[in-house]
Amino acid sequence: MTGRDRVPGRLRVAVAAPLSEENAALIRRLEPRIDLVVDHSLLPPMRWPADFSGEPGWQRAPEQQRAYEAAIDSADALYGIPDVDPAALARAVRANPRLRWVHTMAAGGGGQVKAAGLNAEELGRVLFTTSAGVHGRPLAEFAVFGVLAGAKDLPRLNRQQRDRAWSGRWTMGQVSRQTVLVLGLGGIGRAVATALHALGATVIGTSRRDVTVPGVSTVVRPDSITEVAPTVDAVVNTLPGTEATEHLLGKRFFDALRPGASLVNVGRGTVVDEAALADALDSGRVGFAALDVFETEPLPAGSPLWHHDQVLVSPHTAALDASEDRLIAELFAANATRLLDGQELVNRVNTVEFY
């Protein structure tokens, strides 16, 4: 993995994150103008698909680290943030004036770019993109699962089965007669809205822009969600973690929510004020919560969410799919074609709000 002069009309890409031989070949096939620089011995072994951090405790020998950084410093573009480490990203940007583009593996890669602390010149020189959209269908399925679990009172069913209690019959909620608030109408939010609409739900979406989205009956501004909260039976968060979205779902929103409503979070954990959520669960204002993301991950052992019987805890795994690595490779190749052809890249990171 040694550097070499830039070749006109070609894109030299250093692979900074784990990438299988099969997907490396796929990228080369989809965009033959890429010179892919990859040495698998310098990349941590993955424990499962899309495990871009790799095996904990894995380290490079000093000479391997030098080779890894030399490849990064010779590239026009990076496939992945080096070691999923914002500090390593900052080093790469500052050490390599020819770097034009960095693709992040996460849909929410903007947070990692923000954490790198790059200055205005650096943010203006390098394009950053995310893998948004790759996770839309798996997360939409989890969202539907959460809404259904709330409507059918999964916690009660679990308790009664555990206690071998055959209760009297009760009327279950019908998603087809529910109104669901979907926070965010990006790729994930649109997939969620489509899936819920197919089940007959009335979907209210949020956007800061005037948009028309299939399956969404009404679009409101994010600052108006408290006004519609009394009308909804379930809430699905798909929003990224930014200063504008932090604790958007807090005490004020939960107090306005229709009692017993369900909450599903497949966006970012910081959107939900977990202390306020715990209170809302205790009061019954929130009847059920299916949470795949949290303010702090791993979820601290002392969090009341672990043992609350109206909460389903998922360890940030709802997006994981066996095809994720391939889909990211395809997305990267398509964006490489756009870059080489002078077109706008998809999934550009907003370097003001970092989403």
Catalytic residues: 268, 297, 316
Q: Is 338 helix (H, G, I), strand (E, B) or coil?
A: helix
Helix, strand or coil, per DSSP, at residue 315:
coil
- Half-sphere exposure in the Cβ direction for 154 (13 Å, CA): 14
Beta-carbon-side half-sphere exposure of residue 236 (alpha carbons within 13 Å): 35
> What SS3 class is residue 11?
strand
Phi and psi angles of residue 36, each rounded to the nearest 5 degrees, phi first = -90, 120
* C-alpha of 157 from chain center: 30
How far is the C-alpha of 340 from the C-alpha of 107, rounded, in Å? 23
CA atoms within a 13 Å half-sphere pointing along the CA-CB vector of 249: 36
